[in-house]
């Protein structure tokens, strides 16, 4: 397969703010840039539509599953640009009226929703200076989700899920892991790249990781470093900080060659 025959995938990096409309405008611009780079699949970061110093802000704008301005934006953008669009995360109604489901939604080129994955692992961190407790405003999901596309089989995950390799094993054999994130600067600097490359290596698949990356208006700094990684663990493209797009070809032949020469997935003893 020649370079021009490989489907392009892209990660959008943002510095989202508390205003939904402003974030959607920026997201659309960056999706358009990804398409101009040739991307057939584009992924947005976690919390792309809203981030705030008030963790309850996302609860205030949560949407009913299947209806709302954020979901309409994603469907319309996928249809307009004719792409597969992984909508970072969207705050959807939860069983608990005071919380949301942090859901990653996938839309096909015709604007039809193809999959929904609710974040399973909820981030908790307290080092005395920084404290995060997603369980206070987010209700966890329970299901492993994959989706078939014409680019291959996608495995869906979100941010803190990265630390739990059993989730990715439960996906089975996938061609691409997509992991929208909003990593803190502290944890990202220590662990982001090494864990993403490890997930790519052990699952012998491409990894697409769009991130929040920069200083947000209320002072929080997200790590950024949106990455695209191949099945051998090599970084194909990255963006350290600031809004932007990174794209790279998805080389199916290389993935097949790696799995043939080193059939580690077939050598598993515990399944």
Q: Which residues are catalytic?
A: 46, 119, 159
Residue 68's alpha-carbon distances to 79, 215, 248, in angstroms, are 17, 28, 32
Q: What's the CA gap between 72 and 124, in Å, rounded?
A: 31
Residue 183's alpha-carbon distances to 15, 104, 239, 266, in angstroms, are 12, 16, 14, 32
Kindly give, in sequence order, each residue whose CB lies less than 8 Å from that of residue 271, ignoring residues fewer than 6 positions away: none
Kindly give, in sequence order, each residue whose CB lies less than 8 Å from that of residue 192, ignoring residues fewer than 6 positions away: 162, 181, 183, 223, 225, 227
Contact 250, 212 (CB under 8 A): no
C-alpha gyration radius of the chain? 17
Q: What's the CA gap between 123 and 219, in Å, rounded?
A: 19
């Amino acid at each position: 397969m020649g370079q021009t025959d490989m489907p392009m995938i892209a990660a959008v990096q943002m510095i989202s703010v508390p205003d939904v409309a402003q974030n959607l405008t920026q997201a659309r611009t960056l999706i358009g840039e990804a398409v101009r780079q040739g991307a057939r699949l584009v992924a947005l970061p976690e919390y792309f539509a809203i981030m705030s110093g008030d963790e309850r802000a996302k609860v205030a704008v949560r949407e009913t599953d299947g209806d709302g301005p954020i979901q309409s934006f994603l469907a319309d953008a996928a249809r307009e640009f004719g792409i597969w669009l992984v909508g970072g995360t969207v705050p959807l109604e939860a069983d608990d009226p005071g919380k949301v489901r942090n859901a990653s939604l996938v839309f096909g080129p015709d604007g039809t929703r193809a999959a929904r994955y609710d974040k399973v692992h909820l981030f908790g961190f307290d080092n005395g200076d920084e404290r995060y407790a997603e369980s206070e405003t987010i209700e966890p999901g329970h299901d492993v989700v994959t989706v078939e596309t014409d680019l291959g089989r996608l495995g869906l995950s979100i941010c803190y899920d990265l630390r739990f390799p059993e989730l990715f094993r439960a996906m089975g054999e996938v061609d691409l892991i997509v992991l929208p994130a909003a990593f803190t600067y502290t944890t990202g600097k220590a662990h982001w790249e090494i864990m993403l490359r490890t997930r790519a290596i052990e699952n012998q698949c491409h990894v697409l990781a769009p991130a929040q990356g920069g200083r947000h208006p209320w002072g929080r700094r997200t790590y950024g470093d949106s990455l695209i990684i191949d099945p051998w663990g090599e970084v194909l493209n990255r963006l350290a900080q600031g809004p932007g797009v990174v794209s790279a070809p998805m080389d199916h032949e290389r993935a097949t060659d790696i799995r043939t020469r080193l059939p580690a997935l077939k050598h598993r003893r515990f399944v």
